[in-house]
Amino acid sequence: MDEKGALTEAVYYILLALISPLHGYGIMQRVKAMSHGRVILGAGTLYGAINSLLAKGLIDPFPSDDARRKEYALTPLGLAALKGEV
């Protein structure tokens, strides 16, 4: 989110992708599919945004059976931010 509370396009798509829990690569693929290839997230952009979203309490780590892949899920605050943008 910027200082006014509006979501950037990348953050909006990341939150939208996390309607159901996903790992980083899954988020990248879902964002690409949802935007019909218009938004393609690089790893640096994605993981920078994930760190920011974690710090702001918009997403949380999600328990996963696969220790190699960290999954993330929306928090109630993240869902509210997404709904506010829609």
Nearest C-alpha neighbor of 34 from the set 18, 13, 19: 13
With bands split at pLDDT 50, 70 and 90, how would you rate the model's confidence at 2? very low
Over 70: is that where the pLDDT of 4 sits? Answer: no
| SS3 state of residue 8 | coil
pLDDT digits (tens, 9 = 90+) for 60-85: 999 878 778 899 999 999 999 999 99
Q: Compute the distance between CA of residue 15 and CA of residue 73 in angstroms, rounded to an integer.
A: 9
Work out the mean pLDDT of the chain and round it to a whole number: 91
